[in-house]
Structure 1
Amino acid sequence: MIKYIKSRISIKIFLLTMIILMAVSGISYGFVAAFMPQSYSDSLNRTLAAKAKDLAESLSGYSLENAASIIGEFSDANQSRVVLLNEKGEIVREWLGNGSLVSEVTISSSVSEEEQPVTEGFAEESTTAESGDWEGQTDQEVSYGDTIGTVVEGEGSVVEEMEQQAMGHYEVAFKDSENRYTLFVFGSTQLVNQAVEALGQILPWMLFTVFGISLVISLFYSRYLSKPIRKLGAASDKMAGLDFSVRTEMKRTDELGTLSRSLDTMAQNLDQALKSLRSANAKLKDEMEQERELERRRMEFFAAASHELKTPVTILKGQIEGMEQNVGVYKDRDKYLARAREVTVTLQNMVQEILMISKMESWGFSLKKKELDLAELVRRQLADLTELFEQKNMKLEITLPDQCLCRVDPALMETVLRNVLVNAVRYSPEKERIRVNLYKEIQEISCEGCLRGSGNPVDAKEKTQGHKTVRLEVENTGVHIEDAELSRVFDAFYRVDSSRNRKSGGSGLGLYIVRQILEQHGAGYELRNTDNGVLFRMKLPLENMTFTG
C-alpha cells in the first residue's frame, strides 16, 4: 500500500492536501476556542462599561427607591451583578441580573436608624438569600453570595475584593439623599459560558463538515494538479519509445502550460529529426544497396569480360606461335597475319567498350550534355552505314522531322544510334527492311511490351502524360526473338546467336552499352517483337525542345 501511494502523485497530493486542510481547520478551531471567550468577554465588558457609565450619570435624577428599579432593569437586561455601597462601605442593595434582589437595607431619615448597623439586617437577608433565592444558581453566582457574607468580617476586605472582581465602579448620587454611593458592576460570564458551550456542541458537526469539504477539495485539487502531470508523463513515455508524433496540446498559461508547449516543440523537432534521420538512413541503405548491386554487376561484368577476352587472346597467341614456328597452315604468314590483325581489332574494340562501360559505372561519371539536333544525328549515322545496308540489299524507310533539338551527351547518343542500327542490320536477313521513325510525343500514350527505364522493367502498358518526350523507333523485319531472350538482350555479353559467332553476333556489349547510356539520360527503352520483325523503341525526355517539320 505504501509503495502504491509513493508511486502515485495524485494520491500523495490528495493525502497532503487533506492533512493540510484538516490541520488548518483544527488549528483555527483551537485558536477560536482559546481566544474567543476572553475576546468575547472583553467585548461584552466594553459594552457593559459604556452602559454602566450612562446609568451612573442618569441616576442623579432619581430617588433611591426609583433608582433601584432602574438598576434592576439594567442588571436583568445585561445579566450582570450590580452592588450598591454607601459611604461606609456597607452594601445597600445587590442585584444578580436574573430578577433576584439579594439584599436590601431601607434607608430612613432618622438618625437612630442610620446609626443602626446595617450588617445585622444584611446578615438576615444574606441567610434568606442563601437558603432561597440562590438555590439553583451557577457556581459563579454562589460565589457572589460568599462575597456578600464577608461584610460581617470587615468593610475594607469587602470593598477591596469588589474592586478586584468588578468590571467597574461608579460614584452615584440620588436626589432624595445627600449621601454618596458607589455602584459596582460585575461582568457577566453567562453569555461567555454559553458561547463556549455552543462551540463544544458544534465541534462534531464542524469536524464532519470540515472532513467532507476537505475530502472534496482534496479530490478536485489532486485531480487538477495530477491530470496534466499524468498527461505529460504519458507523452514522455511515448517519446521515450521514439514516438515523437504525440502532442499534449495544453491550453494552460501557467508553468505546466509552458512545460507542455516546450515538450510539444521538442517532440516536433525530434520527430522531424528522426524522420530526416530515417530518410537519410533509407537513402544511405539504398545507396549501399545500389553500390552492392553495382559492385556485383561490375564483378559479373569483369568476369564475363575476362571470359570473352580469353578466347580472342588465345586465338591470337596460337596464330602468332604457329607463324613463329612456321608449322602447318601457319606457313602462309600473310594470311594469318591478316587474321591476327582482325582479332587484334576485335580485342581493341572490346577493350574500348569495356573501358567505356567502366567509366559510366564509376561514381565520378557525369554526362556532358549539349544542345543537339537529334534528327541530324540520325541522318549522319544512316549515311555512315550506307555501305553496310547495301551489302545486304536492305531497304530503308525513314520518317524524320526537319529538326529536333534536345540536350544530350553527343558522343554517347551517337554510340546509342550506331549500336542500335548496326544490330538491326547484323541480325536481319538480306533484302529485308529497316524502318527508322523519330517524332515528338506530348499527349497520353499506351504501349505494349517490356519498356525499361533506369534499369527497371515497367508494366506492359505504360502511360506517359503531360511531359514532352521524343520517341525513336528502329524496326528490322524478317527476324524474331524468343520471349525468354527479350529480357536478357540488354545484359552484358549476351548474344541471341546461339553459336556466339563474333562475325555475326558481335561482342555482346552493344545493347548493354545502349542500356547504360540511356539510363544515364533517364530515358526509357524496350525491345519487342512485332508482326514483321523486331522493334527497338527509345523515349527520351526533353528538357528544352525545339521540334519542326
Structure 2
Amino acid sequence: MLAIKWITKIRAKISAKIFFITLALLLVFTALIYAMLLLFLPNFYYDYKKQKLEDGADQVVEASKSNSLEDVQAAMDRFADNNNISPFLLNSANQIVYIPYVMLQGNSYSTTAVTGSLAASTPETDDSTSVQKSLKINGVPFTMQYFINIQPLTDISAVLLLFAPYFLLFVVILSFISAYFFSRRTVKPLLRMNMVANKMAQLDFSEELPVKSTDEIGQLSHHLNEMARELEGTLIDLQKVNTQLEAEIAKERAQEETRKQFITAVSHELKSPIASVMGQLEAMIHRVGPYKDRDTYLKRSYETMEQMSALVQDMLEISRIDSHDFERSKTTFDLSAFLTESVAQEQWHPDASKRRIINEITPNIMIYNNQPLVEKAISNVIHNAFQYSQNDDTIAISLNESTTGWHFSIYNDAPAIPTEELDKLFDAFYRLEKSGNKETGGSGIGLFITATFLEKSSLSYKLENTKQGVAFHIWQT
C-alpha cells in the first residue's frame, strides 16, 4: 500500500508544479522567439529583398540578349511591378533613356535633368543603396540602375517593439490556458491512479489502469495493475484458507460437543450397570434375602459386565478413529464375499434360522476402501436387520455395481419408524425403546458407530421406511 500513499501525497504537488513549469517554459520560449525576431528579422528581410531584386535585375539582363530595346523595356516593367521600385536605363553618356511608366520628352535625358522628377520615387538618400547592372543591346552598352531602400527595415524593428506589450499579454493568456490544459492532461493519469489506488485500499480490484505509454507513468500503471492482480489473488487464497479454517473450526467444535455429549451419555450408561453389579455383589457378600443364591446372581452380574465390556470396546473404537493418529489405510477387498459370509453367520444363530432371506448379492464386487471400518459398519446393519425382525419375516439383501460405483441395501419386515426419529437414531445412546431395557432396545450406540465408520470411509448412507418394513442403504459414487 506504499504506492497508494505516495500517489495520494504527491498528486496535488505534481499538478501545481507541472502548471508553473509549463507556464514558465512557454513564456521563456516566447521571449526567445520575439528576441530572435527583433535581432534577425530586419537583416533577414534585407537579404531576402536584395536577393529578390538581384534576381529581377538578372532577368532584365537576360532579356537584353535578344538585342531588342522593347524586350528590355518590358522586362524592366515587370521588374518594377514585382518589386515596387523605379529602375531606369542609362546609355553610355549616362543619360536616362527609359523609366517604366514615365513618359520622357525626347529620346533621352541626363540624370541631372530628371533628378527632380525621380526624387519622389527613387531618392538616393542615406537610407538607400544604389545598384547598377550592365547590359548590351545590339552591341551598344547600357546601364540599368535601381535603389534599395533600407528605411522599411528599421520600421519593422520599431513596429515589433511597439507591438511587444500586446504580444506579451496575448502570450501570457495563451500560456496560462495551455499550461492549465497541459497540466490537467499530464496529471489526469495520476488522478486515475489515485482513484484506482483508493479502490485497492478498500479491497476493490474491479478496475484496471490503461497502459498507453512506456514512460514512468505507464510503468507505474503497469506495476499497479500487477500489484492489484497479486493482491486479489492473495486475498482470494486467504478467503479460501479462511473458509477452510472456519469449516475446520466448526467441525472441531462439533466433534468436541459430540465428544462431551458422548462422555456424558457413556457416564450415564455405565453408572446404572456398575451400581447394579455393586449392589448384587454386596447383597451376596452379606447373604441378603434371595441373594443367598450366589450362582444365579453371579451369572447376572457377569452378563451385566459383558454388556459393559462391549460398550467400553465400542467407546475405544470410536475414540481410536476420532484421533489424529488414526490412519485411513485403504485396500482392495471382495465386498460380495464378506456380505455372503456375514449373512451366513447370522443365519447360524438359532433365533434367526426361520427368517426368509432374499439374496441378490452380485458376486465378485471388489471395492477400494478401509476394510475394517466398512466391514464393521455393514455387519452392524446386517445384525440389526436380523435382531429387529421376527420368525418368518423377510430380509432382502442386495449388492449391485454400476459404472460410477456400487450400492448395498438391506430390507427387513419391521414396524415403521416415526419420520422425525429417523435421523435421531444415528445419535449416540438414542433408542426408540424408551424403557432402557438392553434386551429389547439395545445400548443405542450401534447406529452411531455405523454412521461414524461410514462417514470416515466417505460412504453415503440412508435409513428409510418402506411399505412393509425398513431399508438401510449404503453406496459409493
Same fold, TM-score > 0.5, yes or no? yes
State the SS of the aligned residue for 2:349: helix
* Aligned counterpart, 1:235: 196
Separation of aligned partners in 1, 2:454 and 2:244: 23
* Aligned counterpart, 2:476: 540
User: Residues 79 and 190 of structure 1 are in contact (CA less than 8 Å); yes or no, is this contact kept in structure 2?
Assistant: no
Separation of aligned partners in 2, 1:259 and 1:30: 41
User: Residues 389 and 395 of structure 1 are in contact (CA less than 8 Å); yes or no, is this contact kept in structure 2?
Assistant: no
By how many angstroms is 1:491 displaced? 0.8
Of stretches 349-358 and 192-201 in structure 1, the one that deviates more from structure 2 is 192-201
* Aligned counterpart, 1:191: 152
User: Residues 11 and 190 of structure 2 are in contact (CA less than 8 Å); yes or no, is this contact kept in structure 1?
Assistant: no
State the SS of the aligned residue for 1:249: coil
Structure 1's 403 and 38: CA in aligned 2 closer, same or farther, altered over 3 A?
Answer: closer
Deviations 1:216-257 (A, max 9, x none): 533442233112111211121111222234311313122211
Letter in 1 for 2:27: M
User: Residues 11 and 187 of structure 2 are in contact (CA less than 8 Å); yes or no, is this contact kept in structure 1?
Assistant: no
State the SS of the aligned residue for 2:358: strand
Deviations 1:259-317 (A, max 9, x none): 11111111111111111111111111111111111111111111111111111111111
By how many angstroms is 1:212 displaced? 5.5
By how many angstroms is 1:474 displaced? 0.9
Separation of aligned partners in 1, 2:395 and 2:258: 33
Superposition pairs for residues 438-477 of structure 1, below 5 Å?
Answer: 438-442=399-403, 468-477=404-413
* Aligned counterpart, 1:21: 26
Separation of aligned partners in 2, 1:438 and 1:370: 19
* Aligned counterpart, 2:101: none
Superposition pairs for residues 171-186 of structure 1, below 5 Å?
Answer: none
Separation of aligned partners in 1, 2:12 and 2:178: 22
* Aligned counterpart, 1:81: 125
- What is the alpha-carbon root mean square deviation over aligned residues? 3.5
Separation of aligned partners in 1, 2:434 and 2:124: 139
Separation of aligned partners in 1, 2:121 and 2:289: 163
* Aligned counterpart, 1:331: 292
Separation of aligned partners in 1, 2:350 and 2:27: 111
Letter in 1 for 2:467: D
Letter in 2 for 1:355: L
User: Residues 246 and 267 of structure 1 are in contact (CA less than 8 Å); yes or no, is this contact kept in structure 2?
Assistant: no
Report the structure number with the largest CA radius of gyration.
1
1:268 pairs with 2:229? yes
State the SS of the aligned residue for 2:365: strand
* Aligned counterpart, 1:368: 329
Structure 1's 501 and 67: CA in aligned 2 closer, same or farther, altered over 3 A?
Answer: same
| Aligned pair partner of 2:419 in 465, 471, 483 | 483
* Aligned counterpart, 2:69: none
State the SS of the aligned residue for 1:439: strand
Separation of aligned partners in 1, 2:117 and 2:269: 142
1:416 pairs with 2:352? no
State the SS of the aligned residue for 2:426: coil
Separation of aligned partners in 2, 1:288 and 1:74: 116
User: Residues 46 and 150 of structure 2 are in contact (CA less than 8 Å); yes or no, is this contact kept in structure 1?
Assistant: no
Structure 1's 318 and 196: CA in aligned 2 closer, same or farther, altered over 3 A?
Answer: same
Separation of aligned partners in 1, 2:439 and 2:343: 21
* Aligned counterpart, 1:214: 175
Separation of aligned partners in 2, 1:29 and 1:13: 24
Superposition pairs for residues 35-114 of structure 1, below 5 Å?
Answer: 35=39, 81=125
1:347 pairs with 2:308? yes
By how many angstroms is 1:378 displaced? 0.5
Letter in 2 for 1:504: T
1:253 pairs with 2:214? yes
Letter in 2 for 1:81: T
Structure 1's 201 and 73: CA in aligned 2 closer, same or farther, altered over 3 A?
Answer: farther
* Aligned counterpart, 1:141: none
Separation of aligned partners in 2, 1:325 and 1:283: 62
| Aligned pair partner of 1:386 in 334, 339, 347 | 347
| Aligned pair partner of 1:305 in 260, 263, 266 | 266
Deviations 1:365-400 (A, max 9, x none): 232221111111011111111133644732211111
Deviations 1:489-540 (A, max 9, x none): 1111111112121112221111111101111121111111111111111112
1:501 pairs with 2:437? yes
| Aligned pair partner of 1:433 in 370, 377, 394 | 394
Separation of aligned partners in 1, 2:112 and 2:324: 128
Structure 1's 69 and 294: CA in aligned 2 closer, same or farther, altered over 3 A?
Answer: farther
Q: Please list every run of 5 or more consecutive structure 2 residues that lacks an aligned counterpart in the other structure.
A: 1-9, 55-89, 96-108, 130-147
Structure 1's 291 and 72: CA in aligned 2 closer, same or farther, altered over 3 A?
Answer: farther
Structure 1's 41 and 341: CA in aligned 2 closer, same or farther, altered over 3 A?
Answer: closer
* Aligned counterpart, 2:249: 288
User: Residues 398 and 437 of structure 1 are in contact (CA less than 8 Å); yes or no, is this contact kept in structure 2?
Assistant: yes
Deviations 1:178-228 (A, max 9, x none): xxxxxxxxx987334411332145435534553464355334422331121
Letter in 2 for 1:279: K
Structure 1's 432 and 199: CA in aligned 2 closer, same or farther, altered over 3 A?
Answer: same
* Aligned counterpart, 2:80: none
Structure 1's 69 and 486: CA in aligned 2 closer, same or farther, altered over 3 A?
Answer: farther
Separation of aligned partners in 1, 2:278 and 2:117: 154
1:357 pairs with 2:362? no
Separation of aligned partners in 2, 1:312 and 1:385: 28
Letter in 2 for 1:369: K
Separation of aligned partners in 2, 1:69 and 1:499: 159
| Aligned pair partner of 1:516 in 452, 461, 466 | 452
Structure 1's 249 and 340: CA in aligned 2 closer, same or farther, altered over 3 A?
Answer: same
By how many angstroms is 1:31 displaced? 5.9
Separation of aligned partners in 1, 2:13 and 2:407: 73
Aligned pair count?
403
Structure 1's 41 and 279: CA in aligned 2 closer, same or farther, altered over 3 A?
Answer: closer
Structure 1's 403 and 71: CA in aligned 2 closer, same or farther, altered over 3 A?
Answer: farther
Structure 1's 519 and 533: CA in aligned 2 closer, same or farther, altered over 3 A?
Answer: same
Letter in 1 for 2:473: R
Separation of aligned partners in 2, 1:316 and 1:212: 111
User: Residues 21 and 214 of structure 1 are in contact (CA less than 8 Å); yes or no, is this contact kept in structure 2?
Assistant: yes
State the SS of the aligned residue for 1:403: coil
User: Residues 41 and 189 of structure 1 are in contact (CA less than 8 Å); yes or no, is this contact kept in structure 2?
Assistant: no
* Aligned counterpart, 1:447: none
Letter in 2 for 1:271: E
User: Residues 248 and 260 of structure 1 are in contact (CA less than 8 Å); yes or no, is this contact kept in structure 2?
Assistant: yes
Separation of aligned partners in 2, 1:71 and 1:517: 135
User: Residues 352 and 386 of structure 2 are in contact (CA less than 8 Å); yes or no, is this contact kept in structure 1?
Assistant: no
